[in-house]
Amino acid sequence: MIRTLMLALALALAPLAVSAQQGAPAEKRAVATFAGGCFWCMEPPFDKLPGVISTTSGYIGGKTVNPTYRQVVAGDTGHAEAVQVVYDPAKITYEKLLEVFWRNVDPHDAGGQFCDRGDSYRTGIFVHDETQLRLAQESKKRVEAKLKKPVVTEIVLAPKFYPAEDYHQDYYLKNPVRYKFYRQNCGRDDRLREVWGAEAGN
C-alpha cells in the first residue's frame, strides 16, 4: 500500500520536476585539454577558477588505445599526461585558461617538466576547434615575446583523450600530504618562480 502511494506521488510530481528543468537555463559547456607534466599538479590551478565545471586527469597524443599509467610512464605509448577541463564559456574564456596553463608550466623544457623526465611529461595544448587553435598560437607568441626565449610547447589538434585511473583523479584532494611532499620535492614551484616571477601559478 505504501509503495503504491509513493508511486502515485512520484507520478504526480514528475511533470513539476520536468517543468522546473525546462525553465532553468542550460549550462553551456566547452572542453580544453592541456599537458603540463604531472597531471596531479595541473588539476588544482583550473579547479579553483570560477566557470570551470570539472577537470579530469588522463592521457593524450599517443598511439596506444586505453593506456595504463604504467604503460604511459614507460614511454612507449606516445601519450602525454594531460588534464581535460570542462568549462562554461559564458563564465570563463579560453584565453583565461591559456593564461593559467602557461603560468603553471616551464615552456622552455623539451625533456619533461621539473623532476619528471621523458616524453610523457612534455607540455602541450590540444585544441578542439579552429578558434582554440588560433588563440593558442597567439598566446604562444605572446609568451615567447614576454619571456624572450623559444617556447617548445606543442599545439596540436586534440586526438582521443583517455581518462586516467580513478586513484589519479583529484589526487591533491584525496592525498594532500603526499601531494604536497611530491610537489615540493619535485621543485615545481621553485622553477615556476624562476620562469614567471610573481606571475607563477601554484
Distance from C-alpha of 97 to C-alpha of 63, rounded to nearest angstrom = 27
Any catalytic annotation for residue 115?
Answer: no
Distance from C-alpha of 7 to C-alpha of 5, rounded to nearest angstrom = 5
**Which one is catalytic: 38, 41, 115, 186?**
38
Position 138, amino acid: E
Ranges of H-type helices in 58-93: 69-74
How many angstroms from the chain centroid is the CA of residue 137?
18
Retrieve residue 89's grid coordinates: 564559456
For residue 98, give the nearest of 36, 162, 170, 28 by alpha carbon: 36
Q: Which residues of 16-33 are buried (b: 16+ CB within 10 A; e: fewer)?
A: eeeeeeeeeeeeeebbbb
Which position has the grid cell 609568451?
Answer: 143
Q: What residues act catalytically?
A: 38
